[in-house]
A and B are shown apart, each in its own frame.
Chain A
Amino acid sequence: MSQAIHGAIGRRGFLAGTASAAAATAILVSGGAILKPSEAWGYEVKALKPGTMRTLVRMARDIYPHDRLADRFYVVAVKPQDEAAAKDPAIRNLLENGVATLDAAAKSKHGTPFVEVGWEADRVRLLRGMETDPFFQKVRGGLVTGLYNNQEVWPLFGYEGESASKGGYLERGFDDIEWL
Chain B
Amino acid sequence: MAAQFDLNDDGLVVIVGSGAGGGTLGTQLALKGIRTVILEAGGRHEIEDFQNDEWGSFAQISWLDPRTTSGTWRVAKDFAGLPAWIVKAVGGSTIHWAGASLRFQPHEFKARTTYGEVAGANLLDWPITLEELEPYYARAEDRMGVTRTNGIPGLPGNNNFKVLKAGADKLGYKACHTGRMAINSQPRDGRASCRQIGFCFQGCKTGAKWSTLYAEIPKGEATGNLEVRPNCQVLKIEHDPQGKVTGVVYADGDGNLQRQKARVVAVAGNSIESPRLLLNSASNLFPEGLANSSGQVGRNYMRHMTGSVYGVFEDKVRMYRGTTMAGIVSDEARHDPYRGFVGGYEMETLSLGLPFMAAFLDPGAWGREFTSALDGYEHMAGMWLVGEDMPQERNGVTLHKETKDKYGMPVPNVHFDDHPNDVAMRNHAYRQGAELYNAVGAVRTFPTPPYPSTHNLGTNRMSERPRDGVINKWGQAHDVGNLFVSDGSQFTTGGAENPTLTIVALALRQADYIAEQMGRNAI
Where the two chains meet, the residues of A that have a C-beta atom closer than 8 Å to any C-beta of B are 63-66, 68, 124, 131, 140, 144-145, 147-149, 153-154, 157-165, 167-170, 172-177, 179-180
Contact = CB atoms under 8 A, between A and B. Distances in A.
B134 to A, nearest CB: 34
A147 B158 CA distance: 28
A64 B322 contact: no
B159 interface: yes
Contacts of B337: none
B293 interface: no
Given A164-B199, A167-B195, A180 B163 contact: yes
Nearest to B204: A164
A161 B159 contact: no
What is the interface of chain A mostly: helix, strand, loop, or mixed? Answer: loop
Contact of A175 (B158, B166, B314, B357): B158
9 contacts: A63-B366, A140-B364, A159-B378, A161-B53, A164-B206, A169-B322, A177-B159, A177-B315, A177-B318
B53 A162 contact: yes
Nearest to B47: A164
A174 B321 contact: yes
Interface string B362-388: 001011101100110110000000000
A154 B354 CA distance: 7
Contacts of A179: 313-315
A160 B198 CA distance: 11
Given A124-B367, A149-B355, A157-B378, A169 B317 contact: no
Contacts of A64: 366, 370-371
B176 to A, nearest CB: 14
A138 B108 CA distance: 45
Given A66-B371, A174-B159, A145 B322 contact: no
Contact of B162 (A63, A66, A140, A175): A175
B52 A162 contact: yes
A151 B158 CA distance: 24
A63 B369 CA distance: 11
Contact of B197 (A66, A124, A168): A168
Given A148-B374, A160-B320, A161-B52, 7 more contacts: A157-B374, A164-B52, A167-B195, A168-B206, A169-B198, A170-B322, A173-B321
Contact of B358 (A144, A168, A175, A177): A144
What are the 9 A-B residue pairs with the smallest beta carbon separation, nearest first?
A158-B378, A168-B195, A174-B322, A168-B197, A148-B358, A162-B52, A174-B196, A164-B205, A159-B354
Contacts of B52: 161-165
B423 interface: no
A131 B197 CA distance: 38
A173 B156 contact: no
A142 B317 CA distance: 29
Contacts of B431: none
Interface residues of B, number: 45
A162 B50 CA distance: 11
B162 A177 contact: yes
A144 B317 CA distance: 24
Pick from A68, A173, A179 the residue with the most CB of B within 10 Å. Answer: A179
Contacts of B157: 175
A63 B374 CA distance: 13
A68 B354 CA distance: 16
B447 interface: no
B487 to A, nearest CB: 29
Contacts of B375: 66, 68, 157
Given A64-B370, A164-B199, A159 B377 contact: yes
Interface in B42-89: 52-55
Given A64-B366, A164-B197, A173 B318 contact: yes
B371 to A, nearest CB: 5
Contacts of A170: 194-196, 322
Nearest to A140: B366
A66 B374 contact: yes
Nearest to B51: A162
Contacts of A159: 320, 353-354, 377-378
Interface in B437-453: 440
B377 A145 contact: no
A144 B354 CA distance: 10
A76 B185 CA distance: 42
A86 B354 CA distance: 29
A114 to B, nearest CB: 16
A148 B378 contact: no
